[in-house]
Amino acid sequence: MQNTHSKGESGERVAEKFLTEKGFRLIERNYRYERGEIDLIFDDHGILVFVEVKTRRSETYGEPEDAITPRKRRQIRKVAEAYLWVKNIKDTECRFDVVAIKWESGKAKINYIPNAF
């Protein structure tokens, strides 16, 4: 059985592969600023996409995407704003996507939510 950290990493690898196959170009993994983190940052044909990945092994605590609370959204936005400031990125369209992954019988079931918040 995977621990939470390795489960998250495997979910991020699945999400990265999924989005790359959709034509997105990976810019950065696990961008950290202060206490926050953005799992994946992509370029989607000129749009900067901040991706939150949530992975679950069961539905005991609800759907994976349910874990993205208003507080978590605020934290992700704060880190995204810091990323733009640190990288001196201006006048670029941005969006926040979610990749929710449930492991069922050892296979990843993906729910992709573009422009989630």
Structural domains in the chain (count):
1
Q: How many CB atoms lie within 10 A of CB 10?
A: 15
Q: How many CB atoms lie within 10 A of CB 59?
A: 11
Full domain range(s) for residue 92? 4-113
pTM of the model: 0.90
Residue 1 has pLDDT above 50, yes or no: no
CATH of the domain at 50: 3.40.1350.10
Q: How many CB atoms lie within 10 A of CB 62?
A: 10
Provide CB contacts within 8 A for 75, sequence distance 6+: 35, 36
pLDDT in tens, 90-107: 999 999 999 999 998 889
Q: Check residue 8 and give its pLDDT.
A: 57
pLDDT in tens, 44-53: 999 999 999 9
In the block, which residue shows the tokens 């990323």? Answer: 83
pLDDT in tens, 6-65: 545 789 999 999 999 999 999 999 999 999 999 999 999 999 999 999 999 887 888 999
